[in-house]
Structure 1
Amino acid sequence: MSWRGSAPWKGSARGSHQTETVRLPYADRAEAGRVLAERLVPMGLDGAAVLALPRGGVPVGHEIARRLGSPLDVLVTRKIGYPPQPELGVGAIAEGGSPVFDGDLLDRLGLAEDDLDATVAAERAELDRRVAAYRGGRPLPNVTARPVIVVDDGLATGGTARAAVRALRERGPSRLVLAVPVGAAETVHALEPEVDDLVVPAAPWEFHAVGQWYRDFDQLTDGDVLDWLRRAARSRGTGRSGGTG
């Protein structure tokens, strides 16, 4: 695999490709998407599908899809939280895939995967609701034997990104790329084996939350996601709320 990025504060980026350091914080997700797009252009990803993780990944993915002339759609994921403390993610699930758990964390919490069956069922129900809201009856784009770019607005623990790329790997893309504007350095390196190419322009070692690397990091709604998808569809002349290529 190849890694394209820089670590502008502590440590140095490891990988087969180095690029110039980016200036942080990003103004907003759209600017971050434009920075990512310029890194992706030279990679020969003609015909790639761009799949953004909603909600925050969609405006980032919009800029990438526009620059590459690719269709934009969503790949819906949900965090699986520790029931007494739901904000603590112990795993994640992506549409079309199986739950992916953090085994080390489960061991530390004294949990087995089966203990989370009710939580997984609730998150799967919310995942299905969002799929229906974002795509209606349309299936995921066919990515078999085709490059696919998975996009999010940042990597903290990387749980949802890992679930997403594993679900897509099972569909047999010709090249699986994960593209994220900024990510915790430890998480970035942990995800290297999961994809063919990892594009992360900035991977700082001191990382507390994705939002700290953006000046404008407003929370997005389902309506915002649909607006970005419609905008992408209009720019490609598809007239649909998303793109299947």
Structure 2
Amino acid sequence: MFQERTDAGGQLADVLDQDDVEADIVLGIPRGGLPVARPVANALDVPLDIVAASKIGAPSNSELAIGAVASDGSSWLNDDLIEQLNVPDEYIERVREREAENARQKADQYRSDRDPPELAGNRVVIVDDGLATGATVRACLRHVDEAGAERVVLAVPVGSPDVIEELQTDADNVIAVESPPHFSAVGEFYEQFGQVSDEEAMAYLDDEQSSS
């Protein structure tokens, strides 16, 4: 059980240290991933930036992710679910373009006037506050991979064991502090798991932000 996201980030940083993980940059997934990622970046003594993606929702239920797309257009689609729901190709392409633009706008908002980080040839740690379905994370992993990262580690405080296992093929390593067998929702493992505002999340990108 984690007190809140920064506590989870501190515990995650300890596990990465025990596993001798080295990195050139940490990328937090907005919004909830940034409070977790800051202590990790501080512990690894590397810059913190973001990788943004947006879910592609099903036609009848926008909360049901049939895929996700990152700010560079890299996407992941749940082909089995798309076939099961008989989702038209035209719908997928239309929503993918819309959500890619949303992800680009979020990335621009968070970086302000800063350029995107150079990922080619670098060791990257991607951090989120938890791993449930993994749709958004998969798009983020594809973004970083296509950017030419040398090594990509996905790090989360808690995640579904099944999804963690599935994602081992998408990242060089997936590390979680906890992967309980009866996982149902990320928030169950936090004492405080309120929504993080954009303003709060962006504050963690400040170089002077401490891990305390």
- Give me the TM-score of the superposition, normalised by structure 2: 0.93
**What is aligned with 1:20?**
none
Correspondence 1:199-210 to 2 at 5 A: 199-210=175-186
Q: Extract unaligned runs of 5+ from structure 1.
A: 1-24, 237-245
C-alpha distance in structure 2 between counterparts of 1:62 and 1:218, whole Å: 18
C-alpha distance in structure 1 between counterparts of 2:126 and 2:2, whole Å: 20
C-alpha distance in structure 2 between counterparts of 1:227 and 1:45, whole Å: 25
**What is aligned with 1:166?**
142
Shift of residue 124, structure 1, vs aligned partner: 2.1
Q: Which one-letter code corresponds to 1:234 in the other structure?
A: E
Q: Which one-letter code corresponds to 1:166 in the other structure?
A: R
Contact preservation (8 Å) 2:30, 2:50? yes
- Aligned to 1:141, the other structure's residue is in SS state coil
Shift of residue 94, structure 1, vs aligned partner: 1.1
Shift of residue 44, structure 1, vs aligned partner: 4.4
Within the candidate set 71, 74, 96, 2:72 is matched to: 96
Cα RMSD, aligned residues only:
1.6
- Give me the TM-score of the superposition, normalised by structure 1: 0.81
Within the candidate set 122, 126, 135, 2:111 is matched to: 135
Check if 1:222 corresponds to 2:176.
no
**Kindly tell me: are residues 146 and 43 of structure 1, through their superposed partners in 2, closer, same or farther at Cα, counting changes over 3 Å?**
farther
**What is aligned with 1:234?**
208
- Aligned to 2:158, the other structure's residue is in SS state coil
Q: Which one-letter code corresponds to 1:152 in the other structure?
A: D
C-alpha distance in structure 2 between counterparts of 1:177 and 1:156, whole Å: 17
Shift of residue 41, structure 1, vs aligned partner: 1.9
Q: Extract unaligned runs of 5+ from structure 2.
A: none
Check if 1:212 corresponds to 2:199.
no
**What is aligned with 2:4?**
28
C-alpha distance in structure 1 between counterparts of 2:21 and 2:64, whole Å: 35
Q: Between 89-98 and 187-196, report the one with greater CA deviation.
A: 89-98
Shift of residue 111, structure 1, vs aligned partner: 1.6
Correspondence 1:1-245 to 2 at 5 A: 25-230=1-206, 233-234=207-208
Q: Which one-letter code corresponds to 1:221 in the other structure?
A: S
Q: Which one-letter code corresponds to 1:179 in the other structure?
A: A
Q: Which one-letter code corresponds to 1:216 in the other structure?
A: Q
Runs ≥4 residues deviating over 3 A: 42-47
% identical equivalent positions: 35
